[in-house]
Chains A and B, each alone.
Chain A
Amino acid sequence: MLRIEGVHTFYGAIEALKGVDLHVEEGEIVAMIGANGAGKSTLLMTICGVTPARRGQIVFDSNDITAERTDNIVRRGIACSPEGRRIFPRMSVLENLRMGALTSDPARYDDNLATVFELFPRLKEREGQRGGTLSGGEQQMLAIGRALMSEPTLLLLDEPSLGLAPLVVKQIFEAIHRINSQRRMTVLLVEQNAHHALRLAHRGYVMVTGQITMTGTGRELLENPEVKAAYLEGGHA
């Protein structure tokens, strides 16, 4: 579904991605784990076209999207829930969701809204409240819900557990699991919380300073002694 080959991304002279290869197949949850500054978020932004790749190729549904504009990439069916949630604080929950639906068919707006409310009943309760007054977990739900409103076929999630209490993290990951199993949504997830991410994911990649160093199924990586030492011990949440 998504194939990335030899992608290099630069911030000025700094090379953030040094030749990344990965693929995501339909119906999978793929987790990308790595330390701070490894280039995980850059990878998602490169896929979305916010920081375009200087070399390499990104192919989505057999279309080359390497040099496309972000809004066209979203129209092709990739939705992104950016790092730090980035909901619209002064807009109501409903307005935030409405913003996600700009690129989808207005006729299916009601259905999509019902789907999101079914997935996150909490959002329906808070429907008229301003986004900025939600709790961290609710904001994350809103960010995911907003991304789903564009009817994507591939959902990109950047650190959905960032700054959330352990119990809330669990809820969010359960919701991602349901999106994948019930809605057959393909998910590419970037996480520092390796334990949760790898348990949820079908496959995983480990990124270190702009390169992929390891790959395997979620279980394989969870049991890999190197991964354990670097990302799981102590960081267990």
Chain B
Amino acid sequence: MSTSTVEAARPGLEAVLKELCLTALAGLALTVPLVAYETIDAAGGLQLASRWGSTIFIVVMLVLGRFGIILLRTPGRESWVAIGGGIAAAIGVLDLFRDGMTHLLGIISWPAITPTYTLSFLTGVGGAILAIRAIVQVSRRNSSTTKADRDARAEAIGDQVRKLVKVFAAIAVVFALTLPFLPFSNRYVIDVATLIVTYVMLGWGLNIIVGYAGLLDLGFVAFYAVGAYSYALAAQHLGISFWLALPFAGLLAASFGLILGFPVLRLRGDYFAIVTLGFGEIVRIVLINWYDVTNGPDGISGIPRPDFFGLASMTRNGSDGLPPFHEYFGLEYSSEHRIIFLYYLIVAMAALVALFTVRIRKLPIGRAWEALREDDIACASLGINRTTIKLAAFGISAAWGGFAGAFFATRQGFISPESFTFIESAIILAIVVMGGMGSLVGIAIAALLLIGLPEVFRDLAEYRMVAFGAGLVMIMIWRPRGLLSHREPSVLLANRPPPGPGRPSTRPVAAAGEAAE
């Protein structure tokens, strides 16, 4: 954007008023049918209740927002918009956390300006967006950079980020390992962390099919379910311990992966996605209806907890002839031991998946997966047996899903088909796509955001899903290829250092670039 844009003719008062009136009319047309009346259950049937307060608030806010956008068109007025937007954002945030702050800080509640929580949220977000736009506009005008300059700077930042990713990963590993002993950690924190790491593991498992082999699998939860049920049933009917059942659950899930793999081998793209979606539903519906085996919708309860590698029991008084954990190690009894043990268990399992993935990427089969994602036909013409490598991707991915499932079953102690609905597949897939397909660190960050943030924002109650959706949209706008879309090459020339910063990683495609030389 250049500094010398011709100053736009200042719109006349009449034009501004006309635009604001139109905005108000459009706002009314949309809000009156949707917001102004709601049906409520009352004695004797449904009754209409009016919500004119909210309606008028929305229309006023729309007009104010529109006025902000109009002001942004005339250079020099950005500061007004920034201040106005900032005030709106502050009001929204304060109102949103009003109850929480009252509870936490003991401050006496103040009267809310925004009528409902939804409107607090929308006011906050809208104000913030306006303020940010105003600030960005000013900073762009003041800096005489061209688009090319900014691209180059983004590229340089990208290189820095790439370097930082390794540091960040190391810090994250240390953090994950020490988490239970950090001062702020308590039972709740460890529980949430366990949940997040479970999804990290699921994401890394699905990553093999989606991120590497490039096959869109919408039914990953099926393998998760198979793993969970195979451990639950094995423990209940055969009395098999967790450690024996774990490989069994993985193998069973892997064989389900192969069973699904065979019929879908010939399919590509959308068709493939639909069949995997169907497979996920089939597994769930079988679990609901096969009452004799799976106990149907009632689920399976009383799934035993894992023991401490066959040495000690994680229960208070010991079980199966094993001494309780705290006695075995001569510690005070604490109910947190079991929670911490489960946490380390899933961290270890996730670490196993990560090591496996990093390693297999450099083996011929890992390369073949990536080649398959890039170009199916070229793959065949290079002598890659597509059948084998697709099946391998399915089997391995499913096995990781199965391991995670067995862990889920033992952690919850109760499973039912309700835990394995399509939304689970969708969340795991969202984690992989948001993280940047194929990037382990990216997927871990995405899992942290997508699973951790809704936990943190429990205060928002049902509106946290709105925030969740807004977050997804924002990632898709600013990072359309995922949070970390950079891909490290798996082969480097032995005598040449890896590409350093400043080296262009993208270059405009010049069809006849050679002609010059």
Residues on A lying within 8 angstroms of B by beta carbon are: 48, 50, 69-71, 73-75, 79-82, 86-92, 94-95, 98-100, 102-103, 122, 127-130, 132-138, 146-147, 150, 163-165, 167-168, 171
Q: In the complex the two chains form, what is the Cα distance from A90 to B491 in whole Å? A: 13
Q: Quick one: which of A87, A128, A132, A163 has the most chain B CB within 10 A? A: A128
Stretch of B331-339, B439-447, B460-468, B506-514 lying at the A interface: B506-514
With contacts A86-B375, A133-B506, A133-B507 taken as known, whether A71 is within 8 angstroms of B385 at the C-beta atoms is yes
With contacts A95-B491, A98-B491, A146-B382 taken as known, whether A137 is within 8 angstroms of B377 at the C-beta atoms is no
Residues in B neighbouring A75, C-beta threshold 8 A: 383
Distance of B181 from chain A, by nearest CB (Å): 41
Q: In the complex the two chains form, what is the Cα distance from A136 to B491 in whole Å? A: 23
Considering the complex of A and B, which 5 residue pairs feature the smallest CB-CB distances, nearest first?
A74-B383, A165-B512, A88-B374, A86-B378, A135-B513
Q: In the complex the two chains form, what is the Cα distance from A153 to B382 in whole Å? A: 14
Residues in A neighbouring B385, C-beta threshold 8 A: 69, 71
| Contact between chains at B368 and A102 (CB < 8 Å) | yes
Interface of chain B, main secondary structure: loop
| Contact between chains at B489 and A95 (CB < 8 Å) | yes
Q: Which of B360-384 contact A (CB under 8 A)?
A: 364, 367-368, 370-371, 374-375, 377-378, 380-384
Residues in B neighbouring A164, C-beta threshold 8 A: 511-512
| Contact between chains at B493 and A50 (CB < 8 Å) | no
Interface assignment of B11: CB less than 8 Å from any CB of chain A: no
Q: In the complex the two chains form, what is the Cα distance from A217 to B479 in whole Å? A: 56
| Contact between chains at B493 and A88 (CB < 8 Å) | no
Interface assignment of B15: CB less than 8 Å from any CB of chain A: no
Distance of B95 from chain A, by nearest CB (Å): 46
| Contact between chains at A168 and B515 (CB < 8 Å) | yes
- Set A95, A129, A167: member contacting B507, Cβ < 8 A: A129
Residues in B neighbouring A137, C-beta threshold 8 A: 511-514
| Contact between chains at B367 and A135 (CB < 8 Å) | no
Contact with A along B489-512 (1 / 0, CB 8 A): 111110010110001011101111
Q: Quick one: which of A71, A98, A129, A134 has the most chain B CB within 10 A? A: A71
Q: In the complex the two chains form, what is the Cα distance from A135 to B512 in whole Å? A: 7
User: Smallest CB-CB separation from B506: which chain A residue?
Assistant: A133
Q: In the complex the two chains form, what is the Cα distance from A162 to B3 in whole Å? A: 44
Given A50-B380, A134-B509, 4 other A-B residues pairs in contact with their CB atoms under 8 A: A89-B375, A128-B489, A135-B509, A137-B513
Q: In the complex the two chains form, what is the Cα distance from A165 to B510 in whole Å? A: 11
| Contact between chains at A92 and B383 (CB < 8 Å) | no
Interface assignment of B359: CB less than 8 Å from any CB of chain A: no
Residues in A neighbouring B377, C-beta threshold 8 A: 50, 82, 86
Distance of A108 from chain B, by nearest CB (Å): 15
User: Smallest CB-CB separation from B385: which chain A residue?
Assistant: A71
Distance of B228 from chain A, by nearest CB (Å): 35
Interface assignment of B487: CB less than 8 Å from any CB of chain A: yes
Q: Write 11 A-B pairs (CB below 8 A) sorted by A numbering.
A: A74-B382, A86-B377, A88-B370, A91-B489, A92-B491, A99-B368, A100-B382, A135-B513, A137-B511, A168-B515, A171-B514
Residues in A neighbouring B503, C-beta threshold 8 A: 128
Residues in B neighbouring A130, C-beta threshold 8 A: 505-506
| Contact between chains at A86 and B381 (CB < 8 Å) | yes
Residues in A neighbouring B384, C-beta threshold 8 A: 71, 102
Q: In the complex the two chains form, what is the Cα distance from A9 to B281 in whole Å? A: 40
Q: Quick one: which of A82, A150, A163 has the most chain B CB within 10 A? A: A82
Residues in B neighbouring A150, C-beta threshold 8 A: 382-383
Residues in A neighbouring B381, C-beta threshold 8 A: 48, 50, 70, 74, 79-82, 86, 147
| Contact between chains at B490 and A102 (CB < 8 Å) | no
Residues in B neighbouring A79, C-beta threshold 8 A: 381
Distance of B511 from chain A, by nearest CB (Å): 5
User: Smallest CB-CB separation from B492: which chain A residue?
Assistant: A94
Distance of B498 from chain A, by nearest CB (Å): 7
- Set B383, B493, B514: member contacting A94, Cβ < 8 A: B493
Residues in B neighbouring A90, C-beta threshold 8 A: 370, 374, 487
| Contact between chains at B375 and A88 (CB < 8 Å) | yes
Q: In the complex the two chains form, what is the Cα distance from A173 to B295 in whole Å? A: 69
Residues in B neighbouring A129, C-beta threshold 8 A: 505, 507
| Contact between chains at B511 and A99 (CB < 8 Å) | no
Residues in B neighbouring A133, C-beta threshold 8 A: 505-507, 509
Residues in A neighbouring B496, C-beta threshold 8 A: 127-128
Q: Which of B278-311 contact A (CB under 8 A)?
A: none
- Set B375, B383, B511, B512: member contacting A71, Cβ < 8 A: B383
User: Smallest CB-CB separation from A137: which chain B residue?
Assistant: B514
Q: In the complex the two chains form, what is the Cα distance from A70 to B385 in whole Å? A: 8
| Contact between chains at B383 and A87 (CB < 8 Å) | no
Q: In the complex the two chains form, what is the Cα distance from A74 to B499 in whole Å? A: 33
Distance of B161 from chain A, by nearest CB (Å): 18
| Contact between chains at A91 and B382 (CB < 8 Å) | no
With contacts A74-B381, A102-B382 taken as known, whether A167 is within 8 angstroms of B514 at the C-beta atoms is yes
Q: In the complex the two chains form, what is the Cα distance from A133 to B511 in whole Å? A: 11
Q: Quick one: which of A70, A79, A130, A171 has the most chain B CB within 10 A? A: A70
Residues in A neighbouring B367, C-beta threshold 8 A: 95, 98-99, 102
Q: In the complex the two chains form, what is the Cα distance from A79 to B381 in whole Å? A: 7
| Contact between chains at B511 and A89 (CB < 8 Å) | no
Residues in B neighbouring A81, C-beta threshold 8 A: 381
Q: In the complex the two chains form, what is the Cα distance from A86 to B385 in whole Å? A: 17
| Contact between chains at A102 and B515 (CB < 8 Å) | no
Contact with A along B131-167 (1 / 0, CB 8 A): 0000000000000000000000000000000000000
Contact with A along B427-443 (1 / 0, CB 8 A): 00000000000000000
- Set B368, B378, B498, B513: member contacting A82, Cβ < 8 A: B378
| Contact between chains at B371 and A91 (CB < 8 Å) | yes
Q: In the complex the two chains form, what is the Cα distance from A71 to B378 in whole Å? A: 11
- Set A73, A94, A163, A171: member contacting B491, Cβ < 8 A: A94
Residues in A neighbouring B383, C-beta threshold 8 A: 70-71, 73-75, 102-103, 150
| Contact between chains at A102 and B364 (CB < 8 Å) | yes
Distance of A21 from chain B, by nearest CB (Å): 24
User: Smallest CB-CB separation from B368: which chain A residue?
Assistant: A102
Residues in B neighbouring A87, C-beta threshold 8 A: 375, 378
Residues in B neighbouring A136, C-beta threshold 8 A: 509, 511-512
Distance of B124 from chain A, by nearest CB (Å): 39
Distance of B225 from chain A, by nearest CB (Å): 33
Q: In the complex the two chains form, what is the Cα distance from A75 to B378 in whole Å? A: 15
Residues in B neighbouring A122, C-beta threshold 8 A: 514
Residues in A neighbouring B514, C-beta threshold 8 A: 122, 135, 137-138, 165, 167-168, 171
With contacts A98-B491, A130-B505 taken as known, whether A135 is within 8 angstroms of B382 at the C-beta atoms is no
Contact with A along B86-105 (1 / 0, CB 8 A): 00000000000000000000
Residues in B neighbouring A71, C-beta threshold 8 A: 380, 383-385
| Contact between chains at B512 and A99 (CB < 8 Å) | no
